[in-house]
Amino acid sequence: MKKIVIGQVGGPTSVINTTLSGFVKSTKDDHELIYIENGYEGLFYGRFIKGEEKLNKWIIDNERVPGACLGSGRFSLSERSIETCVEQLKSINADTLVVIGGNGTMKALNKIEEKSTEIGFQIQVIGLPKTVDNDLGGTDHAPGFGSAAKYVAQTTLDISRDLRSMKNFEKVRILETMGRNSGWLALASGFLRRYKEDGPHLILIPERKITKEKLIERVKEIIEHYGYAIIVVSEGVELETSGQIEKEVVNGRKILGGISSAIADLLKKELKVMVRAELMGMSQRSSSTFISEVDYKEAKEVGIYGAQCVLEGRSKIMVSLQRTKQLDYNIIKIPVDLKEVVKEGERNVPDYFIDDYEQYYEWLKPFIDINSYHYPSPIARRDNNVKEPF
Amino acid sequence: MKKIVIGQVGGPTSVINTTLSGFVKSTKDDHELIYIENGYEGLFYGRFIKGEEKLNKWIIDNERVPGACLGSGRFSLSERSIETCVEQLKSINADTLVVIGGNGTMKALNKIEEKSTEIGFQIQVIGLPKTVDNDLGGTDHAPGFGSAAKYVAQTTLDISRDLRSMKNFEKVRILETMGRNSGWLALASGFLRRYKEDGPHLILIPERKITKEKLIERVKEIIEHYGYAIIVVSEGVELETSGQIEKEVVNGRKILGGISSAIADLLKKELKVMVRAELMGMSQRSSSTFISEVDYKEAKEVGIYGAQCVLEGRSKIMVSLQRTKQLDYNIIKIPVDLKEVVKEGERNVPDYFIDDYEQYYEWLKPFIDINSYHYPSPIARRDNNVKEPF
């Protein structure tokens, strides 16, 4: 029986509790579970809670509920506070530390492991992946991303049809997605686009810079061609000469957001048309309705596999998801070296996806399980030689 | 066989095409259908399209697609342009004019009817209700509202759980709903709240003014009590001394929006905590995923009943939905005098709903068909004498 300490760190996803639940279900009967409140902040302050049966059951009951059950947070760890975290773990004689998180989480986890080794405190360290941004290295994708991508894809198509019918009144909508310094989510906005009349007509991602002049020119062309424009922009995009838009810095972390408003202001001024900016917002990471079944299944499997790694005595690893084939979607779980994950840093969208969206959408397909009904082509009437009403 | 001219006016809803489809299905075989492009603007310019079989079928295929199939718009009609509209209808020998719309639409429709009578041009005039704001008089509620309310209720609960788990990082989220000068949608945000720990902790609506001082005090209390605050605000809310926040005026219509940001700025300054403002945005009126089945059914019935009114020779009316009982939800369609609808003006939320949310939620229940899973209580652990993790 091991004493396993587990926490959730960083922005929640709609399936972050699914992973926790999978892990808890697989370990609660044979091990002692200790929960950390509010991620690394709780670890630093030693806010541990005993995993009693009722609490464990409550966590399992929350497996489809957004927000992190244990409380999460963004607490940046200095070298000194890494030491404190290790001391806290040592003081309760923890055998294992499991953390569910993204990039920053894995980096800190690696440091905690190093510090433990340094002081001769033996602890098993396992990371479980989670991020809507999908910018985590060492894994094909991370749980949470698929559901967020599904939300972004459907919302963009819906809002596009809405604007299309109002184009005599307003011309441009700028929809801002999450993603930090990567364009995975923003690019997902085009997944359900089957007709070129539908948006998104332009997707801006941090991986490809665009000048203000070029942007204005492209939007002008789009409006001339379709009568309206749906532009999707990733929060981390910098317009050449303007830089990323930071709202504020909290706990040393830049809060991005606002590039859509900056672009809206620019286009209003230059094109003299009505432009609306809108954040896709917190629903991307918390919509229970848009949970992707594949994402849900994998999030759970990551938790269950994490439990298996505990048993097998694996340490200094992160559980990763790997595709076994290109076309038939089949995923296996593999432990990857935590150091390798950290070394890879923020994972951007590869060029071959950016240069050929269709290739990206083929890759994205398993996550977006929307088949409930079809959007008829907006140009069906033109095909039939009937004058198009709008 | 009548020559029926039909159009869609104002902001679309996710079921605006359901009503159109219901009407078209019921009339296409026995009447000549003429579609107006882009609402009153198209009527003014005489942009009519013949309802050929393929076009009719396309409209029916779009019954669950957001955005107005015929194109909509916000075109304000002067006295002179009302005359032009009547001349356009006369020039094509229209027997019937059917318009799907809200408040402003019905007002203009009434004027078109009066002008026709004045010049001795006999035309049958029928309004079909549609608005997410639910501020249309003469009807228990309007199609489109139920789906928007469902979106607002679920989104608020999801975002509340997300923030709850991040409350060590950010304290307040201000979610802004549509509604213009009424609070129907904003109040719907509390429908799924079963535990007082969940948001919304405060709902601001135009029907009840609040001073800046009172607002700051309330939010402070909420944060002290729950550790975080979810505030929902209707776009039309005025903070005493600040007035409604207008983004701009387009075609004589105020574009509301921005009160959430104004409140966020105020709270940041006064409470020195991290506050995020977010618009619920266009998804409220265009989310195909959140279409409420009751709303969908009624939207279609309104179209079918509109067709029946054409046959029965009714004119100067709007189709309304009326409840026959208080508890068992049963709706009948009744034609109401268009003049009465206009006279009622914008319909606010009655005091008895504002003073007792539970009474409002009982009324709202039929529209929000979310039973797929339960959110366990966020305080289950406290009930069980287990220390609460966050």
Beta-carbon contacts of A387 under 8 Å, excluding residues fewer than 6 positions away, are A381, B49
Buried b (16+ CB within 10 A) or exposed e, A341-355: bbebebbbbeeebbe
CB contact under 8 A, B390 and A71: yes
Closest Cα in chain A, distance from residue B304 (Å): 22
With CB atoms and an 8 Å threshold, state whether B281 touches A286.
Answer: no
3-state SS, chain B, equals CCEEEEEECCCCCCCHHHHHHHHHHHHCCCCEEEEECCHHHHHHHCCEEECCHHHHHHHHHCCCCCCCCCCCCCCCCCHHHHHHHHHHHHHCCCCEEEEEECHHHHHHHHHHHHHHHHCCCCCEEEEEECCCCCCCCCCCCCCCHHHHHHHHHHHHHHHHHHHHCCCCCCCEEEEEECCCCCCHHHHHCCCCCCCCCCCCCEEECCCCCECHHHHHHHHHHHHHHHCCEEEEEECCCCECCCECCEEEEECCEEEECCHHHHHHHHHHHHHCCCEEEEECCCHHHHCCCCCCHHHHHHHHHHHHHHHHHHHCCCCCEEEEEEECCCCCCCEEEEEEEHHHHHHHCCCCCCHHHHCCHHHHHHHHHHHCCCCCCCCCCCCHHHHCCCCCCC
Give the model's confidence band at B249: pLDDT under 50 very low, under 70 low, under 90 confident, else very high: low
Nearest to A73 among B12, B166, B283 (CB): B166
- Residue B157 clears pLDDT 70, i.e. is over it: yes
Are B295 and B64 in contact, with CB atoms under 8 Å apart? Answer: no
pLDDT band at B327 (very low <50, low <70, confident <90, very high): low
Q: Which residues, listed in sequence order, are joined to residue A246 by a DSSP beta bridge? A: A256
Q: Is the pLDDT of residue A390 over 80?
A: no
Distance CA A94, CA A36 (A): 12
Helix axes A293-311, A16-27, angle to 10 degrees: 40
Q: Do A246 and A256 contact (CB within 8 A), yes or no?
A: yes
- Size of chain B in residues: 390
Contact A2, A32 (CB under 8 A): yes
Task: Answer whether B70 sits within 8 Å of A389, measured CB to CB.
Answer: yes
Could you tell me which of A356, A307, A359, A361 has the C-alpha nearest to residue A335?
A307
A176-A182-A186-A191 Cα dihedral, nearest 10 degrees: -170
Say which of A14, A38, A74 has its CB closest to residue B390.
A38
Measure the CA–CA gap between B312 and B82, rounded to whole angstroms.
26
pLDDT at A241: 62
Burial class (CB in 10 A: 0-12, 13-18, 19+), B277: buried
pLDDT per residue over B19-52, tens digit each? 999 999 999 999 999 999 999 999 999 999 999 9
- B contact residues 257-286, partner A, Cβ 8 Å cutoff: 274, 276, 278-279, 281-283, 285-286
Question: Which one of A69, A73, A386 has the shortest CB-CB distance to B168?
Answer: A73
How far is Cα of residue B69 from the mean position of the Cα atoms in its chain? Answer: 18
Partners of A166 on chain B (C-beta within 8 Å) are: 11-12, 67-68, 72-74
List, for residues B47-99, the tens digit of each pLDDT value: 999 999 999 999 999 999 999 999 999 898 999 999 999 999 999 999 999 99
Contact check, Cβ <8 Å, B389/A37 = yes
Arithmetic mean of pLDDT over chain B: 92
Q: Which residue of A has its CA nearest to B9?
A: A166
Measured from the Cβ of residue B147, the count of other Cβ atoms closer than 10 Å reads 31
Report DSSP state, residue A210: B
User: A interface mutation test: which of B35, B152, B165 has the most A CBs within 10 A?
Assistant: B165
- Contact assignment for B70 to A285 by CB distance below 8 Å: no
What phi, psi does B317 have (nearest 5°)?
-130, 160
Averaged over B165-185, what is the pLDDT? Answer: 96
Put simply, the chain B residues between 161 and 190 with a CB less than 8 A from any chain A CB are 161-170, 173
A65 by DSSP, 3-state: which? coil
- Please state which of the ranges A30-34, A132-136, B104-108, B244-248 shows the lowest mean pLDDT: B244-248
B10: closest CA among B181, B144, B205? B144
Residues of A in contact with B387 (CB under 8 A): 49
Measured distance CA(B145)–CA(B132) in Å, rounded: 4
Look-up: residue for tokens 């396993």? A4
Is it the case that residue B387 has pLDDT exceeding 80? no
A384 to chain B, any CB pair closer than 8 A? The answer is yes
In this model, does residue A381 exceed pLDDT 80?
no
Tokens of A365: 């397909």
Residue numbers in B near A168 (CB within 8 A): 38, 41, 71, 73, 75
Strands of the sheet containing B202-204, edge to edge, are: B202-204, B229-234, B172-177, B275-279
Per the annotation, the verdict on A133 as an active-site residue is yes
Q: CA-to-CA distance for A244 and A242, rounded, in angstroms?
A: 7
Cα A189 to the center of its chain, rounded Å: 14
Strands, sheet with A172-177, edge to edge from the N-terminal-most edge strand: A202-204, A229-234, A172-177, A275-279
Q: Do A155 and B73 touch (CB under 8 A)?
A: no
Torsion of CA A310, A314, A315, A318, to 10 degrees: -80
Query: What chain A residue is nearest to B11 in terms of C-alpha separation?
Result: A166
Residues of chain A contacting residue B52, judged by C-beta atoms under 8 Å apart: 386
Calculate what percentage of chain A has a pLDDT beyond 70. Answer: 90
Nearest CA in chain A to B375: A65
Helical H runs in A312-350? 338-344
Q: What share of chain A in percent tops pLDDT 90?
A: 85
Closest CB from B169, B251, B281 relative to A169: B251
Flag whether residue B58 sits within 8 Å of chain A, measured between CB atoms.
yes
β-pairing verdict for B202-204 and B124-129:
unpaired
Residues 6+ apart with CB under 8 A from A129: A100, A101, A102, A136, A139, A142, A143, A302, A318, A319, A320, A321
Say if CB B291 and CB B15 are below 8 A apart: yes
Which residue matches tokens 């801006």? A204
More confident residue, B199 or B380: B199
- The length of chain A is 390
| The two three-digit tokens of residue A347, written as one number | 């994972």
Residues of B in contact with A161 (CB under 8 A): 65-67, 286
Q: Which two tokens stand for residue A214?
A: 């070029």
Rounded Cα distance, A228 and A230, in Å: 7
- Neighbour count for residue B332 (Cβ, 10 Å): 12
ipTM over 0.90: yes
Catalytic residue from among B95, B133, B295, B383: B133
pLDDT tens, position by position, B261-299? 999 999 999 999 999 999 999 999 999 999 999 999 999
Q: Decide if A37 touches B, using CB distance below 8 A.
A: yes
Check whether B100 has a pLDDT greater than 80.
yes
Residue B99: C-alpha distances to residues A68, A166, A308, B306, B307 (Å): 47, 16, 63, 10, 12
User: Which positions ≥6 away from A17 have C-beta within 8 Å?
Assistant: A59, A62, A63, A64, A65, A66, A67, A68, A69
Span A202-218, mean pLDDT? 95
| pLDDT given at position A243 | 59
Are residues A166 and B73, on separate chains, in Cβ contact within 8 Å? yes
Is pLDDT above 70 for B175? yes
Residue B66 contacts residue B283 (beta carbons within 8 Å):
no
Is the sign of the CA dihedral B133, B134, B138, B141 positive or negative? positive
Q: Which residues of B touch A38 (CB under 8 A)?
A: 168, 389-390
B35 interfaces chain A, CB cutoff of 8 Å: yes
Residue A99, pLDDT score: 98
pLDDT of residue B384: 39
Checking if the pLDDT of A372 tops 70, the result is no
Check whether B236 has a pLDDT greater than 70.
Answer: yes
